[in-house]
Structure 1
């Protein structure tokens, strides 16, 4: 593949454009923005070096001078949308619970704006500029939580994981019924009726007890909020 390096490298450690010559016609920000537009409109599978080059009006091979690998392109995309966080300075050193609750909600909103993100997000991208900015801010929000940095990083990862899992499931449910003559709610109603019939036979007493005690199901926003608060509650100091 064009531009394939013999050893691992970090895209952020490279010059904006490899080699000599005139001033680059495009920036990494331009390239990332073009790729994000394509993914937002047509999904991550539609993102290719050829498609991005066409969006920018340049040759496909010339794009490799800026981005040597498609994996690097994904990293640029993830970093670009990570810049959408509103990192309020007043949250640093304040109420860590409220701060992380707000960040978790932002994460979920960003994932919904860019549904392709759940497929390409990776901890490998944790050293990108906006990822470092986000992590530094999160640790600042957690200043008043009496816990070692390792525990705080676990909390940040869990908040992100909760948002990722929530949104991935919502996307999967929506995709399953896309183009079908019924809605996700109608399918859920049919499946709930089937489950009720299975539980009524007595073969699953614990599940039947759980369903009997469960509160009425809320919408996806309520489910996420409940899960996020339970997670944060588990990190509250005892006593």
Structure 2
């Protein structure tokens, strides 16, 4: 989902995490796997939020003792890296790049938004850490870089554009989720509207007053996302 690697990625050794197989404890073959543990953690986060994910809760979901999980995910930080890469597997590129890099970038952004809405904990998780690129994430990054091949950008700049788009999507989805929560509280929404109206009328914020008096554009989440995404991608300077 985002760029970031190396030992600084939350203390994670990416080579050990992604290129080495987990070593289960000696004795009877366990009834679970790292994939099952990760899937259980994702399901828990989807249902209750990222803060609900603890090694004890995940162990309970897979029917294991807490200590037996540590051979597969030695700490919650590692588990979170596994979770992000696990859900990134849902970002299977729908088709090879078309050659229209702007259209392809927008398709990438829409796919990321759909993923984050399915997993509402993901935007917050992405903001709070520097992520190591697991195999599913790498596959999607490869697709994004291929989409940017028609531009005049060098490799580093292409990675920056991908990170920019990912951060843009995460920020908008986080706002979308917050707005949905606000819509579920009419009193709070009404209080916010009254406050902004009072601020706009106090004479000290003429620019805000003018902005709030402008004709209202479609405010559905889909329309807002598409409009802002167009503004972002169409305004990118790639030297072409």
TM-score between both structures, scaled by the size of structure 1: 0.83
Distance (Å, rounded) in 1 between the aligned partners of 2:201 and 2:73: 58
Contact 2:151 2:239 in 1 (8 A): no
1:55-134 mapped onto 2 (5 Å cutoff): 55-91=61-97, 94-121=99-126, 124-134=130-140
Q: Is the 2:153–2:239 contact (alpha carbons within 8 Å) kept by the matching residues of 1? A: no
What is the Cα deviation at residue 187 of structure 1? Answer: 4.4
- Which has the higher relative contact order, 1 or 2, with Cα contacts under 8 A spaced 6 or more apart? 2
CA 1:8–1:151 in structure 2 vs 1: closer, same or farther (change >3 Å)?
closer
- Whether 2:142 is the aligned partner of 1:136: answer yes
Question: In the alignment, which of 55, 60, 64 is matched to residue 54 of structure 1?
Answer: 60
User: 2:13 aligned to 3, 9, 12, which one?
Assistant: 9
1:222 is matched with which residue?
223
| Structure-2 separation of matches of 1:116 and 1:225 | 22
Following TM superposition, by how much is the alpha carbon of 1:213 offset from its aligned partner in structure 2, in angstroms?
A: 3.6
In structure 1, C-alpha distance between the alignment counterparts of 2:48 and 2:238, rounded to whole Å: 45
Structure 2 counterpart of 1:235: 236
Q: Normalising by structure 2, what TM-score?
A: 0.83
Structure 2 CA distance for partners of 1:8 and 1:80, relative to 1, 3 Å: closer
Is 1:150 aligned to 2:151, yes or no?
no
Distance in 1 (CA, whole Å) between partners of 2:152 and 2:122 is 32
Deviations 1:37-66 (A, max 9, x none): 111112112211111111111111011111
Residue deviations 1:163-219, cap 9 Å, x none?
Answer: 1111111222334565xxx43xx6445533442333233221222223334543522
Stretches of structure 1 that go unaligned for 5 or more consecutive residues are 1-6
Q: Cα offset for 1:20?
A: 4.5
Which SS does the other structure have where 1:143 is aligned?
coil
Shift of 1:220: 1.9
Corresponding position of 2:4: none
Separation of aligned partners in 1, 2:90 and 2:143: 14
Q: How many residue pairs are counted as aligned between the two chains?
A: 227
Task: Out of 21-30 and 159-168, give the one that drifted further.
Answer: 21-30
CA pair 218-16 structure 1, distance change in 2 beyond 3 A: same
Q: What CA distance in whole angstroms lies between the structure 1 residues aligned with 2:44 and 2:214?
A: 45
> What is the root-mean-square deviation of aligned Cα atoms in Å?
2.5
Gaps of 5+ in 2: 1-10
